[in-house]
Every structure is written in structure tokens, then in C-alpha cells.
Structure 1
């Protein structure tokens, strides 16, 4: 018997958030490449399924976290009577740990002790290698290592329907160099000031770029968009609340650059090969920035560590957030304009 026989079935549990779900896709591709006959089941959030739920060769089970205990029971009912060779428990939150208790599996792979919390160690029987300094995507990719694989290639290829491409082409026609601005993170303290976004957007417009403001339909995102628009001297396209996740992927694929704080769209843009001008002060871009290329990001994380925590970032536990009021003010308009200019020159569009 081989030490690591090919599993017949694997269950992946990572329900949220959008950025982290994009990080699971390369792991999924690694499993499919190595074991094309292995049955793969992914328990994913209701919103997140709209982004990845059409990946071929995968069974999806939706977890509606807004439904509370009923949402958990629905997942357990969908999997009743089944037992997986392995469960990859890639989310350490208490809700996900409880959710995993209703999933039968011989091998239950979770995080190493340093990254465990909320009783995670009680719901697993194996752990990924203990490493520090990893990007989130690499940490998720290491979940295949206890099974005998190694993620050596990072590939997304998230399907984008033809109608999404057509819609994006209507909004952003032609080959005009385009800056998309997604100004709102789900973590409010990661957000930059509206007037600063507006200043950068005005600058890009003077350089002949098309500028479009994007975001979801929530009240908070609408309020941020309105604040940005009120401060703009050169009105951008306002596409806030008009897209879907698939349409957003298609739009990102037509743009040369995305300006955003640490957020889901950052990782979606990276997944389709679009440059990202990420704004990082509250979070460490080496851990949670755009995976493929962080050259265009503004990184004030170390400065934030000194100012708010009295020590360099190198002395903080890996993954520490510095979500303090005012932390994003460490990023100036000039900082962002400089990175925009550098990215534009690299693209050959200045």
C-alpha cells in the first residue's frame, strides 16, 4: 500500500470571504490535476458561490451563514450518509468549526497550532505544515501537503460567461486605458478617504485614462461612492451597484489597473491578471496583498506598526492587523499617484 493513496473523495470547507475563496481555486486546480478521478465537494458561502460555483468538475454545497443554525442544518442534510476520505477545513472561525462537525471524513486536515483558534484543534486530526511569513494563498495551497501533494503552480481560470463579457464591453468599450476604483473594503478601517481617491482619479483622467468607480449595492458602498463622486473634478463612470461578481471579473479583465484597499476585488483582479494598486497600512501586503505582483501597491504597514504599536512590523505576529482609526491616512495622494505612474509606464500607456 502506498503512503498516500489517491483519495476517492475530498471535501473542501472554505465558505468566505471573496478574496479567500479566490485563494482556494489554485488548490482546487492542483487537486484536479493530480487526481482527475477524485470527487471534489466544496462547501462555500451563498455569495461566494456566485463567483466560483460554475467551476467544472466540482460539486458545490451552499452554506447560507445568514440563516444561522438552519443554514448549518441544510449543509448537514445535503451531506447526510456520506463520508469523505479527507476534509480540508480551511476556515478557523467558530462557525466554520461547528459546521465541520456535521461532515464525516477519515482525515480532517486543519491549520497548524499557531494559526488555530476558536477550538479549531478539536475538529481536525491532521495539520498543515507550520510556517510563518506565508501569503494566505500559499497557506491554503499547503492543505494538499498532508495528502502527499505540493502546489507548484498557481492557476485560476475562473469561468466568465459570455453575457458578462458582453456587459463589460458595453460599459468599457474599445481599448481606452482604464483605471477601475473599488474604494470600499468590508473592514471600514481599511478604507481610504473619499477626497483622496478623487484626487488620484482626477490625475488619471488628466493623463487620458478612462476612470470608473465600482462597488457593490450595499448602503455603505453607495455612501462611499457618493463621497468620492462629490470630490471629483472630472466625473468618472459610476458603475457602483450595477455589476455582479461575474460581470466584475469581466470588467477587471478589460482594465489595466485597479485601485483598492485590501478587499475581495483586489484578489479577483489578480486572478484575471490585472495590475492592482493596493492600499496597505492596516494589513500586510506580503500576507494578504495581490498574490502575483505587489509592485504597484503602497505599503505603509511598517510605518503603521511603529506609529500605533511602537515596534517594527518584523516584530509583530504574522498576520497582525493594524485596524486603527486614521491608519490609512498614512497613505498620501502623492504615494498613490507615484505608483499609478509607475504602473502606467510599465504597461506602456504613458
Structure 2
């Protein structure tokens, strides 16, 4: 049997989808499992256990529904038996239809239901990992027990005493305000004078991160990896670090998937849906002082800046980081 899975389009969601892939491998142990992944995220697919082929998809190369159809049709020779789409868009359903897969399973939003052979009911108010698994459970009629989010990573320096910091987020409402962030990092270096702190981020985050680097009271304690690692390299860096202090973002899930403890700062996002899934080494911190929390908006309409992030308790954050450093 050959199975094709259309993965989500965001880093955190791709990481969370690894539990779905593992469940597919569990239910179909003899199947070859291939994935379609956004080209910019294809580096992370190599870290997902158990994959046969990785098909990078570029919206620039295959634009519009016509491009989606052409891409899907290019995979027709693979002769897939099953196609699962985790995004619930019509374009993803179109892609599956174009592959000629015998059975095509998805949630069928945006009218894509007529391109699928099995339309599943999308559950609400559950974690994203469990939402994906519901697709497989509804199709097979089998319950998935003990799901786990996992990526493979290499550890070249197991004795590293490094704390990673990610104050960025794609959504402005989940990003740390600069003044608040500067105060936090300076308190961290005062409390942990023997620890190396390292900023991470994508190339487009580099300018934002540089503001913290320039404002650090003790710049010698900081390294800056923003825009300097690919996704696989970032996963490896995380795997050998003691803890990641992060906003609600893709890197939080990436670190969680390779076993690195995470302290996750929540503002607009809803931790019930998108907190790192492996809870044994993850701490979620929320101020919880505003009636609008969580609003799940990408920008703050009430205050202009994400006040829910500004109100986070710095002592609580430092204590959480300290706990993981003591247990490391």
C-alpha cells in the first residue's frame, strides 16, 4: 500500500502532524508513507521518522488552483492508495484529486468535499494534534492511543550549557514587546551569570532580534543565531540546549519534539489548542489578567501592542527557566 499525506503549511503545525504520521505507520505498518510539504519547510521533513518520499510543493512554481492541479497530476505515476489532507482547503483537496489516489480523506472545508471520497467532521475545541488524529480515527474507526510528537535530531555537544531564546512570532499579538523583552533578558543574565543565552529566529526576524542584542547589559553572554540556521540545524541546536524560552510559535513545537524543555509564553494564542503537546517537559505561562485572553487574533485591536504579553510575570518566567536548568 502507498499512502500520501498533505502536511500543513506552518512549522508548528507540521511538527504537530508528526503524531498523525506515526499513527498512520502504526495502523499501516507495511505501507510506504510519502508526504507533500511546503517547499520552505521541506528541511524539517527529513527529521520525521518513517517517511519514504518527500514531495516539496512551491506556490510560486505552482500558483493558483491550476498549478495545484498540475502538481498533483505530476504524482499520478506513484499510484497512491490513500491520500490524507491535513489542511482543510479546497486547494489541498484538489491536489489529492489530481494525484488519482483511490481514496482521499479530509475535513472538506471551502467546498473541497466534492473532491474527497471520505469527508470527516472536524472536531472543535481540542488540541491541534488530536484534531489531526480525528481524521485518521474517523476513517479507520480505530482509536489512537498515546500519541507523541517526535522529530529526530543530532546532538553534537551534549554538555552544552545554553539557553535558547525566541521572542518572535509570525503573529504580532504573540510577539514579545521590545521594551518588555529587553528587561527580561537583562534580568536573566543577572540571575544566571554562568549561562550562555542564544537568540534564534528566521532571516526575517533578524532585525527584530538585533534590538535585544544591542540592548543587552551583558552582550558577552549572548549568541545570535537568528537567520543563521536552517530548520534541521535549528532542531539539532535545540536538542543540545538545556531549555528554550519562547513565545507561542513554531520553534516551541520544534524544541518540544526533540525533547528539549520549553517555557512557553502565551498571549493571544490558546494553549488548549496549540501548546507543545509533550507536556512532561513543557511549562506554559500566561498572565491571565485581561478579559480578552485569549483572543486568537494576529494583532491587538484593543491596546495596539499585545498587553497580554506585556503583563507576563518576569519572576515566574525566570523561576520556570531556573527549574529546568537545575534538573538538566
Bin the TM-score by the shorter chain: 0.7 to 0.9
The equivalent of 1:121 in structure 2 is 113
Q: Does 1:348 align with 2:326?
A: yes
Question: Could you tell me how far 1:257 is from its partner in structure 2?
Answer: 2.2
Greater Cα shift, 14-23 or 254-263: 254-263
Q: Aligned match of 1:67 in 61, 68, 88?
A: 61
Structure 1 segments, 4+ long, off by >6 Å, are: none
Structure 2 distance, partners of 1:327, 1:100, is 41
Question: Could you tell me how far 1:225 is from its partner in structure 2?
Answer: 0.9
CA displacement 1:93-136 (0-9 Å, x = unmatched): 3432433331223332212xxxx632233332323455332110
Q: Aligned match of 2:283 in 287, 296, 301?
A: 296
CA distance 1:117–1:57, shift in 2 (3 Å): closer
CA displacement 1:260-314 (0-9 Å, x = unmatched): 22211111011012222222221101101111228622225x655x34xxxx76x
TM (norm. structure 1) is 0.80
The equivalent of 2:208 in structure 1 is 224
CA distance 1:321–1:103, shift in 2 (3 Å): farther
Question: Could you tell me how far 1:63 is from its partner in structure 2?
Answer: 0.7
Q: Aligned match of 2:100 in 93, 104, 117?
A: 104
Q: Aligned match of 1:133 in 84, 104, 125?
A: 125
Q: Does 1:152 align with 2:128?
A: no
SS of residue matched to 2:217: coil
Calculate the aligned-residue CA RMSD, in Å. Answer: 2.8
Structure 1 distance, partners of 2:74, 2:143, is 30
Q: Aligned match of 1:256 in 242, 252, 257?
A: 242
Question: Could you tell me how far 1:330 is from its partner in structure 2?
Answer: 2.0
Q: Aligned match of 1:329 in 304, 307, 312?
A: 307
The equivalent of 2:317 in structure 1 is 339
Pairing 1:42-53 to 2, within 5 Å after superposition: 42-53=35-46
Question: Could you tell me how far 1:215 is from its partner in structure 2?
Answer: 1.0
